[in-house]
Amino acid sequence: MSEPELPVLPSVAGRVVHVVGARPNFIKAAPVLAAIDALGIPQRLVHTGQHYDVRMSDVFFSDLALPAPDVSLGVGSGSHAAQTAVLLARLEPVLAPADPAERPALVIVYGDVNSTLAAALVCAKERVPFAHVEAGLRSFDDSMPEELNRRLVDQVADLCFLTSPEARDHLVREGIDPARCHFVGNPMIDTLLAHRARFDPAPLRARYGLGGEYAVATLHRPANVDTPDAAARLVGALRTLAARLPVLLPLHPRGRAMLTAAGLDTIPGIEIVEPLGYIDFLSLVSGARVVVTDSGGIQEETTILGIPCLTLRPNTERPITISHGTNRLATPEGLAPLLDAALRGELARPGDGPPLWDGHAGERIAAIVRDVLAARAAR
């Protein structure tokens, strides 16, 4: 990993500091940043650069009208250990300056990526208060790096912001004080609802020559793409999908070589495209007949859009997308019957939708942050 010279760091004294590093973080942070700004609370945005190129990062800032980061750390890719080590070293002087008077009032981290874990560890070791947005989600699959990150972050968070009601039960079973837990709703859905009027599949249909119904696929989880056997099973599932509908596959850099070696580019009916920005991608999804994915966030977004979603994983940390949405878990070998059921319109979505997925999660988080900071100042 490269070691660029770090920029002069702006003061974070007394401010709320948001740490983001990957595209799901940007989507979740946008409404929280806006709501805290509306309350007049000073804040800083730190971008670790875990996702660092235009398609994986910059386009999300422009699509979501996010402010330019105050600090960009340029961490880049690497193994879990190497990436987390660099993150720790580069985040420490930002989040825990040597002078206690220069430290943040509160750090907010999002989701379950390595940037989230590293920021949490710096805060915990240096006694800097921090909050975790999307706390308490559990797949109960410790082979997932994200599951380990989620568990570790929640154990040391001062505030746990919950996007789903069952998250509180998970946290309490793990010994976390319920007073630290706040069910606020889902800021990723705030972002979707705020931009929904901008979703238009027509330009994407024209760009990719889609005259009729089509499917969208996104696949990047290590368990699906990091070994030849897993990649072969996944390619088999995509053959099943492409036999029924034309498929658009915005392909994440992770796993591209392994999937190609397994024969991905030999499947008729699949168009492989580069990762898309937020508006383009959700425009494409909003016009799809079905989505096949292994992404957590897309399970949530299709739940609100009402698009059938088949998740190629044995488990999900978002079971509410099954009980209150159109999501179903599938194996590559078992995809066909679920796909046919989806195409027959049999994956109905309950009318009520997930609780508090109403577009106001960012405001709830901001109000709690305001009250916590005010209570601390009064002591």
5 band by pLDDT with thresholds 50, 70 and 90: low
User: What pLDDT is attached to residue 53?
Assistant: 52
Which single residue is written with the structure tokens 């898309």? Answer: 276
pLDDT at 369 over 70: yes
Contacts of 334 (CB under 8 A, 6+ apart): none
310: helix, coil or strand?
strand
Contacts of 359 (CB under 8 A, 6+ apart): 189, 190, 193, 194
User: What pLDDT is attached to residue 327?
Assistant: 97
Return d(Cα 174, Cα 169) in angstroms, integer: 9
- Select the more confidently predicted residue: 350 or 109: 109
Contacts of 207 (CB under 8 A, 6+ apart): none
How many percent of the chain have pLDDT more than 70?
96
Local structure of residue 130 (DSSP, 8 states): E
Give the mean model confidence (pLDDT) for residues 83-104: 94
Return d(Cα 178, Cα 362) in angstroms, integer: 21
Query: 228-242 vs 335-343: helix axis angle to the nearest 10?
Result: 30
- The mean predicted confidence, pLDDT, of the chain is 92
User: What pLDDT is attached to residue 157?
Assistant: 98
How many percent of the chain have pLDDT more than 90?
80
Pick the CATH number of 196-343 from 3.40.190.100, 1.10.3720.10, 3.40.50.2000, 3.40.50.2300: 3.40.50.2000
Give the mean model confidence (pLDDT) for residues 19-28: 93
Amino acid at site 210: L
Give the mean model confidence (pLDDT) for residues 70-88: 88
Q: Which two tokens stand for residue 296?
A: 């957590």
Q: Which two tokens stand for residue 178?
A: 């319920």
Residues identified as active-site: 220
Amino acid at site 157: A
310: left (phi over 0), alpha (psi -120 to 50) or beta: beta
Q: In what order do the strands lie in the sheet with 290-293?
A: 270-273, 247-250, 215-218, 290-293, 309-311, 327-329
User: What pLDDT is attached to residue 80?
Assistant: 86
User: What pLDDT is attached to residue 173?
Assistant: 98
Q: What is the pLDDT of residues 197-233, one digit of tens each?
A: 999 999 999 999 999 999 999 988 888 888 899 999 9
Q: What is the DSSP string of 164-180?
A: STHHHHHHHHTT--GGG
Region(s) of the chain under CATH 3.40.50.2000: 16-185+360-378, 196-343
User: What pLDDT is attached to residue 242?
Assistant: 98
User: What pLDDT is attached to residue 151?
Assistant: 98
User: What pLDDT is attached to residue 9?
Assistant: 63
Q: What is the pLDDT of residues 136-158, one digit of tens each?
A: 999 999 999 999 999 999 999 99
Amino acid at site 292: V
Q: Which CATH superfamily is domain 16-185+360-378 in?
A: Glycogen Phosphorylase B; (3.40.50.2000)
Return d(Cα 61, Cα 59) in angstroms, integer: 5
Q: Which of 273, 282, 138, 145 shows the shortest CA–CA distance to 200? A: 282
User: What pLDDT is attached to residue 54?
Assistant: 47
User: What pLDDT is attached to residue 78?
Assistant: 80
Give the mean model confidence (pLDDT) for residues 269-298: 95
51 band by pLDDT with thresholds 50, 70 and 90: low
Residue 117 · residue 143 · CB < 8 Å: no
Task: Please state which of the ranges 8-12, 22-26, 95-99, 270-274 shows the lowest mean pLDDT.
Answer: 8-12
55 band by pLDDT with thresholds 50, 70 and 90: low
User: What pLDDT is attached to residue 1?
Assistant: 46
Beta bridge partners of 160: 132, 181
